[in-house]
Chain A
Amino acid sequence: MKPKHQRLVLALVALVALVGAGLLAASALREEASYFYTPATLAKAEVAPGQAIRLGGMVQPGSIKRDADGVTVRFVVQDRDAVQNVVYRGITPDLFVEGSGVVADGRLANDGVFKAESLLAKHDENYVPRELKDIDMTAAEHTKDSLAQ
């Protein structure tokens, strides 16, 4: 191989590899990225049961119910316009309480209930799920306990 050739070949190989990486990433993204919904946008969107999505909103006051097994919890996530039933099996995050913000990863079951696989609660000032920052909560809660007070 002539000197110029090898550099060219290597550059092409690198290019092909990166394009391959891009394609692989694109196909995996198409199938595995989960879209974020609030109850209102979820009600309008047509989301197939079983597809991975994220649901965010406020835990409706008075809606948290625990099953007799002690590990299954059912609650309602709401925003201003709509509500969504959620079921979750597991230890709920710290500060998961009625009236607080929550983001749930999971899938819709055939009966329309959202089966959460993980929950993120609005913890504290340092750790707000990004999606919740913009949501207009119907009730103000967890006022900032920052220094300014």
Chain B
Amino acid sequence: MIAELGLFALWLAAALALLQSVVGLASWRAAETPLATLVKPVAVVQGLLCLISFFSLMWLFYVTDLSVLLVASNSHLDKPMIFKIAGTWGNHEGSMLLWVTILTMCGAAIALFEKRLDKETLSATLFAQALISLGFFAFLLFSSNPFERLNPAPPVGAGLNPLLQDIGLAFHPPTLYVGYVGLSVAFSFALGALLTGKIGPAFARAMRPWVLLSWIFLTIGIAAGSYWAYYELGWGGWWFWDPVENASLMPWLAATALLHSVAVLAVRDALRAWTIMLALVAFAMSMAGTFLVRSGILTSVHAFAVDPERGAFILGLLVIYVGGALALFALRIGSVREGKQFALLSREGGIVANNIFLSVILAIVLVGTLWPLAAEAMGDQISVGPPYFNRATVPIGLLLMIALAVGPMLRWRTDDGARLRRLIVPAATAVILCILLFVQWPEAGFFPILALALAAGLAVASLLPLVGRNMLRIPLMTWGMVLAHFGLAVSIAGMATESGWSSERLAAMRVGDEAKIAGWTVKLDMVKPVAGDNWVAIEGRMAVQRGDDKEQMKPQARQFFDPVQQTSEAALLTRWDGQLYAVIAPVDAQNYDRWQVRLWWKPFVTLIWYGAGLIALGGLLALIGRAQLFPRRRSSTAESEWARA
């Protein structure tokens, strides 16, 4: 019953999307038509229906209704409750439903909250948003129906991949999806503005909070995913340049560039065409990512479904939307007048440099991600891994850091370079640190040393916009920028120390053996069997010691039953100067007197995620700073109205 309700709500929402596209088109063409009053309610109701549909599916997972195919093939009666619920989006159909739900919620949010955009552009935007929804409704209903029944119902269910049974995974996909799909708003805004031709500061100010919001979610989602991979996979790495990771990184790069260029458009009315282009590219990257992940074309723990029909469907949608958007761009951009001029040495110039470096990194990641597919089409099987990505992106990333230190010091429009003298302090910090590091740890490698030194310089430089100003008068948005830039420096420092200064030790240990790593002594005290709800494991008890600092670590090698699979649960010990990371595994199935133990000492690795947190927090401050400008104005009119009454 609930399944049918969910499906019905989905069909109804799809019908409303069709209605919204017609009404949106009509009211954009003639703003005075009575239909125009319909477009907003339709968008809101459509979002609500999708929400009902999504909660129906969640309910089915909650009660483990095994007569529904999706639940039966992805859930299990014995699974812990939180993972039963999170299992709603731990599979292809469910995660696509979540995708569409967020998409329509974005449409509803535009209808409810967008007050700054002019009526015409708003109608055109909702028209575009409805067109996107339609395609993905079709995809869900015709090739990925989450509510399909199974007859007869099986007794227990097939279970969820144990790697996905993790609390981090319960929240990582929804967060990332909000970011991913939130970019559809920027896309629709850009299309709307292209249709009406009203591209200017007002448009940019309206678009900016939406971009900021999805960018914050993307940042958090990527950081959370990276930490999950770090502790759950037990491989000791935090970024693998896996195609799915790249699929989330590419929209982030585009959104970061967009975030900066939209600021130029809002403040200075320059970079019109470029900003529109970036808005189109950002969501195109989201859809490309969805295609890569959902088509099963890639090897990945994320690729739930291997189904060529679905892949072809998403590819078709991708081609239609991106092709259509680019065609519209080509047709209309000639009529968009060029924005205001600026000198090369100016804040705008700095942001252009930022945009170019980010785009170059984006292009490199895109080429590396798609190349294996292209090569396979030509008959070669190749894989493109970390060596390629590191080699091609790291140098550009370092250039980006330099641009990032300089940009905020420049004035809008034109700059005489006088304030650049202040950069002597961070530059000196970087150079001196670089020399010291090379003398002390030449074995750490060229790029880690350079990156760490530049990160230190950038950390200092990012604070310079605050120097010499009244701290209380600095706008929240400036604090946001400073915090985000400082966070990037922190994050890069963590990446640099992790890649240059980590130590690793691999040993086969008997109970009672000791291993030494980076000042720590690790003693394997005992190995004992333990059991959980749906798994059994061997657990190592390790006494670890560094000076007076004593602690116990308990890594596990788990065996899950349904589906049968082994995972290793790494043990992590966090100290201010880094993390000790331990993994245990049987030497082989017959031999239980020795255990393979893999240890890493990763200095300051946590800075990577703390930095990402600061970046997101900076974004949040900027968003609040923007929002503050409005309630104040609104409440003053409300006050005057109240006074009149």
Residue numbers of A with Cβ under 8 A of B are 1, 3-4, 6-7, 10, 13-14, 17-18, 20-22, 24-26, 28-29, 31-36, 52, 54, 64, 66, 69-71, 89-92, 94-95, 97, 105, 120, 123-131, 133, 145-147
A18-B72 contact, Cβ under 8 Å, with A7-B273, A32-B391, A124-B161: no
A18-B359 contact, Cβ under 8 Å, with A35-B381, A91-B585: yes
Does more than half of chain A's interface fall in helix, strand or loop, or is it mixed? mixed
Interface size counted on chain B using CB atoms at 8 A: 60
Cβ-defined contact, A4 with B383, below 8 A: no
Cβ-defined contact, B368 with A29, below 8 A: yes
What are the interface flags for B555-583 relative to A under an 8 Å C-beta threshold, 1 for contact and 0 otherwise? 00000000111111000000000000001
Max chain B Cβ within 10 angstroms of own Cβ: one of A4, A6, A26, A146: A6
Return chain B residues, CB-CB under 8 Å to A66.
587-588, 591
Contact of B338 with A by CB under 8 A: yes
A21-B158 contact, Cβ under 8 Å, with A28-B392, A32-B384: no
Cβ-defined contact, A126 with B360, below 8 A: no
Residue numbers of B with Cβ under 8 A of A are 72-73, 154, 158, 161, 234, 271, 273-274, 298-301, 303-304, 306, 338, 341-342, 352, 356, 359-361, 363-364, 367-368, 371-372, 375, 380-385, 387-388, 391-392, 396, 506-508, 563-568, 583, 585, 587-589, 591, 594, 596, 598
Name the CB-closest residue of B to A54.
Answer: B383
Return chain A residues, CB-CB under 8 Å to B396.
21, 24
Cβ-defined contact, B363 with A36, below 8 A: no
Return chain A residues, CB-CB under 8 Å to B301.
126-127
Return chain B residues, CB-CB under 8 Å to A25.
363-364, 367-368, 392
Cβ-defined contact, A29 with B158, below 8 A: no
Return chain B residues, CB-CB under 8 Å to A92.
585
Return chain A residues, CB-CB under 8 Å to B342.
6
Return chain A residues, CB-CB under 8 Å to B72.
147
Q: Measured between alpha carbons, how far is A145 from B359 in the docked complex, in Å? A: 45
Cβ-defined contact, B598 with A90, below 8 A: yes
Name the CB-closest residue of A to B157.
Answer: A147
Cβ-defined contact, B299 with A29, below 8 A: no
Q: Measured between alpha carbons, how far is A7 from B161 in the docked complex, in Å? A: 52
Q: Measured between alpha carbons, how far is A20 from B357 in the docked complex, in Å? A: 11
Cβ-defined contact, B508 with A71, below 8 A: yes
Return chain A residues, CB-CB under 8 Å to B587.
66, 70
**Partner of B338 from A4, A13, A26 at Cβ < 8 Å:** A4
Cβ-defined contact, B338 with A36, below 8 A: no
A13-B356 contact, Cβ under 8 Å, with A1-B341, A66-B588, A71-B506: yes
Return chain B residues, CB-CB under 8 Å to A52.
385, 387
Cβ-defined contact, A3 with B341, below 8 A: yes
A130-B359 contact, Cβ under 8 Å, with A33-B388, A95-B566: no
Return chain A residues, CB-CB under 8 Å to B391.
28, 31-32
Q: Which 9 residue pairs of A and B lie closest in terms of their CB atoms, listed nearest first?
A: A70-B508, A94-B566, A36-B381, A32-B388, A130-B299, A21-B363, A21-B360, A32-B387, A28-B392
